[in-house]
Amino acid sequence: MNKPEILYLVVPCYNEEEVLDETTKRVCEKLNTLIASGKIDGKSRVLYVNDGSKDQTWMIINRLFQDNPLVCGINLSRNRGHQNAVLAGLMYAKEKADFAISMDADLQDDINAIDEMVDKYYAGNDVVYGVRSSRKKDTFFKKTTAEGFYKLMKWMGVDIVFNHADYRLMSRRVLEQLGEYKEVHLFLRGMIPLIGYPSDVVYYERNERFAGESKYPLKKMLAFAFDGISSFSIKPIRFIVWLGFIIFIISLIMLLYSVVQYLVGYTVPGWSSLIVSVWALGGLQLLAIGIIGEYIGKVYMETKGRPKYAIEKILEK
Ligand code: UDP
Ligand code: MG
């Protein structure tokens, strides 16, 4: 069996005072069993990232830190949103740990999946995605919007794992590579597959939030979805180019049609030239905007300065 390695559980917290005590109890139990069975090193920790909470969250994290040897925490200067909080935690963890798992504070992600994740990590996977096996406990609205979102992303050409949110295990080299991504608008579940490296999935049942309410109201969810698409895909621009092209083709058909109408004599004077110019100009304008957009899209992708590759393995003597 491998030498036990250090695991950091990264947990972003925004106004989570109601759940932290229970979460800590259950998560530490899990960590202790893993440590006792020799699967992970005794230096493993649960790392709370306080994302500018407005309630007692940070005070509670301080108390837990005092009372519990497995707990540590970092405090962000203000609320920066879930993705940034997770990244802050992961970037901190990569200095201390061999691998890290990110999960929500509300225990919606089943912590019993951690065992299997750790096993798959030791089996040679750098990333293990936690995937929801069903959404029985989600409301109809959440289920349809969420699954629709994954399908839309696929259609837009973004490589994401279906029904996987931010419950995942990452090895240190994945975290190091993630640190090379300079973009400001984070969409972690799209970035990790981009990094590559061997990966596997673990299925789990998603539970209900056991206390408190969702910190992701519809408005934040939509903003997040839009961020995901616009940060990873320039398909919407391509769509404009195609639309312009199609309308231009229609204008040619209209030209033919109006000439025929003119020859047959069904037209009011001036109609033919007007109708053709309306279609032709509309089409050409859209086409032109699309082409300009295409260049802006390129500039946009360049400014991200994303690393172009990650070396998976080096063979040398
Ligand atoms: N969260 C955060 N900053 C925010 C919003 C949420 O750190 O601005 C954390 C929150 O504390 C939780 C996780 O992100 O640990 C997921 O949030 P939530 O459970 O409310 O989302 P849902 O499960 O409803 O999608
Ligand atoms: Mg939740």
Pocket test for ligand 1, best of 82, 87, 111, 218 (most atoms within 8 A of CB): 82
In this predicted structure, what is the pLDDT of residue 267?
74
Give the number of the ligand closest to the Cα of residue 166.
1
- Nearest atom in ligand 1 to the alpha carbon of residue 103 is 15
Please state, in angstroms and as integers, the Cα–Cα distance from residue 284 to each residue in 110, 214, 247, 255, 291, following that order. 54, 46, 8, 15, 10
- The answer to whether the CB of 74 falls within 8 A of the CB of 49 is yes
In this predicted structure, what is the pLDDT of residue 126?
95
253-291 tens-digit pLDDT: 988 988 888 888 877 778 778 888 888 888 888 888 888
In this predicted structure, what is the pLDDT of residue 172?
95
Instruction: Measure CA of the first residue to CA of the last residue in the chain; give whole Å.
Output: 25
- The answer to whether the CB of 103 falls within 8 A of the CB of 7 is no
4 lines ligand 1 (CB under 6 A): no
Give the number of the ligand closest to the Cα of residue 23.
1
In this predicted structure, what is the pLDDT of residue 316?
67
In this predicted structure, what is the pLDDT of residue 308?
66
CB atoms within 10 A of CB 40: 24
Ligand 2 centroid–CA 103 distance in Å is 9
Ligand 1 centroid–CA 211 distance in Å is 13
Give the number of the ligand closest to the Cα of residue 145.
1
Model pTM above 0.85: no
In this predicted structure, what is the pLDDT of residue 32?
95
Both tokens assigned to 33: 């069993």
Please state, in angstroms and as integers, the Cα–Cα distance from residue 109 to each residue in 13, 165, 207, following that order. 14, 10, 7
184-212 tens-digit pLDDT: 888 899 899 999 899 999 999 887 777 77
56-71 tens-digit pLDDT: 999 999 999 999 999 9
Residue with tokens 């990966």: 199
Q: In whole angstroms, what is the distance from residue 168 CA to residue 117 CA?
A: 8
DSSP 308: S
**What is the average pLDDT value for the chain, to the nearest integer?**
88
- The answer to whether the CB of 102 falls within 8 A of the CB of 128 is no
77-111 tens-digit pLDDT: 888 889 999 999 999 999 999 999 999 999 888 99
In this predicted structure, what is the pLDDT of residue 188?
92
* 9: exposed, middle or buried (Cβ count in 10 Å: 0-12, 13-18, 19+): buried
Ligand 2 centroid–CA 317 distance in Å is 48
Q: Which of 80, 97, 78 is nearest to 10 (CA)?
A: 97
- Nearest atom in ligand 1 to the alpha carbon of residue 212 is 20
Atom 14, ligand 1: residue with shortest CA distance: 82
* 114: exposed, middle or buried (Cβ count in 10 Å: 0-12, 13-18, 19+): buried
Q: Which of 203, 199, 15, 33 is nearest to 110 (CA)?
A: 203
Q: Please name the residues in contact with 127: beta carbons below 8 A apart, sequence gap of 6 or more.
A: 168, 169, 170, 171, 174, 192, 195, 197, 198, 199, 200
Q: How confident is the model at residue 313 (pLDDT cuts 50, 70, 90)?
A: low
Say yes or no to pLDDT of 6 above 90: yes
Atom 8, ligand 1: residue with shortest CA distance: 81
In this predicted structure, what is the pLDDT of residue 294?
84
Q: Which of 295, 154, 166 is nearest to 229 (CA)?
A: 154
102-137 tens-digit pLDDT: 999 998 889 999 999 999 999 999 999 999 887 777
16 lines ligand 1 (CB under 6 A): yes
Both tokens assigned to 256: 């033919």
In this predicted structure, what is the pLDDT of residue 314?
61
